[in-house]
Amino acid sequence: MSRGCGGFTLIEAIVAAGLVATAALGTAQLFALATAQNAFARQQLVMSGLASAKIDELAAAVSPASYGSETISDAGRSYQRQWRITEVPGYGVEAVAITVVVSAAVGVGGEVRLTCIRAGTP
């Protein structure tokens, strides 16, 4: 008696299904990791822009406040921006240090710190 139909046995089908499921699970994990990293990079980009804008604002001001803090909302997220202006000893210039800190952003946090040195005002 010979087999008339060619096909897969039950064991072969189960093994193939297991391999496909394993590959799909690995791909899903990579997708989740890439999505999280993309959100973090976007957050860092926004915070860098906020810090840079404040440095530009303080550098252009005639006599800016020597320190301060403000909360900024952007795209549904809240950011805390703090700055301090201090003299650099021995050089007669001011260093403008600005820190942008994310406050309670849906599991994504971090800090961006930019420092700029500008000529002191006479």
For residue 106, count other CB atoms closer than 10 A to its CB. 10
pTM recorded for the entire structure: 0.69
Q: What is the fold, at CATH topology level, of the domain defined by 10-119?
A: Pantoate--beta-alanine Ligase; Chain: A,domain 2 (3.30.1300)
Report the pLDDT value the prediction gives residue 14, as an integer from 0 to 100: 94
Per-residue pLDDT of the chain (122 residues; tens, 9 = 90+): 455 577 889 999 999 999 999 999 999 999 999 998 998 888 888 888 888 898 888 878 877 788 888 888 877 788 888 888 887 777 665 666 666 666 655 555 678 888 887 766 54
Secondary structure percentages of the chain, helix, strand, coil, to 5: 40, 30, 25
